[in-house]
Amino acid sequence: NAGVTQTPKFQVLKTGQSMTLQCAQDMNHNSMYWYRQDPGMGLRLIYYSASEGTTDKGEVPNGYNVSRLNKREFSLRLESAAPSQTSVYFCASSEAQRREQYFGPGTRLTVT
C-alpha cells in the first residue's frame, strides 16, 4: 500500500516548455487535489476532482490543466511553463470532499 505517489520528484524546465506531473493513489479515494506550496507559505489549491469524471478550479488555476484519468490517477499539466510556476507541487487524495487528505511526497519544479 503505497498511498499517494507522484512523479517526477524533481524537474527543471526552461520557460515555455511543457510537462505533466503524475499522481496516483491506491486507497480507493474518490477525491483528488493538486496544490502548490511556495517558500514560507501554506498550500494553495490549483485544481481538484471531487469524483472520477469531474474536475474543478481551485484558488490558483491559471496556467494549469488537469485530467482525472481514472479513479486512481490525476495529472497536472503545465502547457507553457513560467518562472512564477517554480514551486513544490503536492498531490493529495481523500475519501470524500470534506474528509482528511493524504499527501504525496511532492514534486520540486524549477522554471528558469
Cβ-in-10-Å burial (0-12, 13-18, 19+) of 62 comes to exposed
Task: Report the residue number, 56 or 79, with the smaller CB distance to another protein.
Answer: 56
Residue pointed to by grid coordinates 499517494: 4
Residue pointed to by grid coordinates 511543457: 18
Task: Report the residue number, 52 or 103, with the smaller CB distance to another protein.
Answer: 103
**Residue 40 near another protein by CB under 8 A:** yes
Task: Report the residue number, 43 or 81, with the smaller CB distance to another protein.
Answer: 43
**How do 19-25 and 4-7 pair as beta strands?**
antiparallel
In the complex, the residues that contact another protein under the rule CB under 8 A are 31, 33, 35, 40-45, 48, 50, 56, 58-59, 90, 97-106
